[in-house]
Structure 1
Amino acid sequence: MTYIIALDGPSGSGKSTIAQELSDRLGIEYLNTGSMYRAVTKYFLDRNIKESDLDKIVENLGNIQINFNEGAIFLNGEDVSKEIRSDLVTKNVSWVSANKNVREKLVDMQRQIAQNTSFILDGRDIGTVVFPNANYKFFLTASPRIRALRRFDQNESDLSIDELEKSIIKRDEYDSNRETSPLKKAEDAHLIDNSDLNIEETIDAILAIMDREDVI
């Protein structure tokens, strides 16, 4: 029997790292949905497409192909795994992911990819929109300061810790209040605040809940 694990939460809550580790432990596939939105953002930025260019956004969506291979993400055949982590992409990904047309395309793509196969997907609306009937749902969070420190330690940004914290708070507010698929904990999702937990402790907490529920 196949099953779906939905892992939602804000930026810096450790979703991607934890999802990858869980997929390895459980022997199931992992789909990083956040990197898909980042790839679309890079595509738009490379072509100087702005938030207000609604017609151009719709016109260009049909030209975007996203694939995964051995942990790397490919945008129209090009490995963009590193480029999509830039500060410029991070600064713009919220408005791209808030666009209704972008979300419809990527949600459809995510559902097709995860069809008939056990998957763990991480994002902001997996348990509420993409797979509302997922077998397991988790919502990871941590304080903005802790999340800023994590990003800083990963050397993913040229910003200071204080600047990162401000950026994270601003993005949380934007993502939580956007009209289309806002960042939101599903009513039946398990909330895990890992501000004081490391990766292993967070994974152990998730596996303990899965073992207790055993809904598969």
Structure 2
Amino acid sequence: IDIEDKLRTKEVDSVVAQVSAYPPLRSHVNEQLKAIARGEDMIVEGRDITTVVFPDAELKIYFDAKPEIRAERRFKQHPEGTTYEEVLAGVKARDEIDRNKAVGALKQAEDALYIDTSYLTMDEVCEKVLSAIFALKTG
């Protein structure tokens, strides 16, 4: 089941930061993620995945992009019923909330590979990620 389009709606964006800041829910979801991943190699994405959920992961990658670029990308995905300016304001507000959360704040893990995706294509990002995985696995 592919629900990606439903995750990036205006309705979800308007509440996701507040919901994700609720500690009992975060704890439950994090435990579920750990149970699913136990003993498996997998790729997991999230704002605190490498600092809170999987701080001992073999490979940690911190993706970043300028807020204006992220807003442009999101607006292109779902332009209906909103403006670029509204999307940009939402991106900046979410970043502010996530950086200042008491639990699970948005920050780069010290040992994470930093990739600024602002001006990279999807293929270029994938190439960087695959290179990091292959380097880790071939040692």
Q: 5+ unaligned residues in a row in structure 2: which ranges?
A: none
Alpha-carbon distance between aligned partners in 2 of 1:98 and 1:147, rounded to the nearest angstrom? 21
CA RMSD of aligned residues (A): 1.8
Q: Which amino acid aligns with 2:36?
A: I
Q: How does 1:120-135 map to 2 (within 5 A)?
A: 120-135=43-58
Identical pairs, percent: 35
Cα shift at 1:156: 6.2
Deviates more, 1:82-91 or 1:127-136: 82-91
Q: 5+ unaligned residues in a row in structure 1: which ranges?
A: 1-70, 74-80
1:189 and 2:112 matched: yes
Match of residue 97 from structure 2? 174
Alpha-carbon distance between aligned partners in 2 of 1:214 and 1:111, rounded to the nearest angstrom? 22
Alpha-carbon distance between aligned partners in 2 of 1:156 and 1:140, rounded to the nearest angstrom? 24
Match of residue 149 from structure 1? 72
Secondary structure in 2 matching 1:120? coil
Please, which of 9, 12, 15 is the counterpart of residue 89 of structure 1? 12
Cα shift at 1:149: 0.8
Cα shift at 1:86: 2.5
Cα shift at 1:210: 2.6
Q: Hey, which of these two has a bigger chunk of helix by percent?
A: 2
Deviates more, 1:206-215 or 1:183-192: 206-215
Alpha-carbon distance between aligned partners in 2 of 1:82 and 1:194, rounded to the nearest angstrom? 21
Quick check: 1:138–1:192 contact (8 Å CA) kept in 2? yes
Please, which of 8, 19, 25 is the counterpart of residue 102 of structure 1? 25
Question: TM-score, length-normalised on structure 2?
Answer: 0.91
Quick check: 1:86–1:157 contact (8 Å CA) kept in 2? no
Q: Which has the higher contact order (CA 8 A, sep 6+)?
A: 1
- What is the number of equivalent residue pairs in this alignment? 139
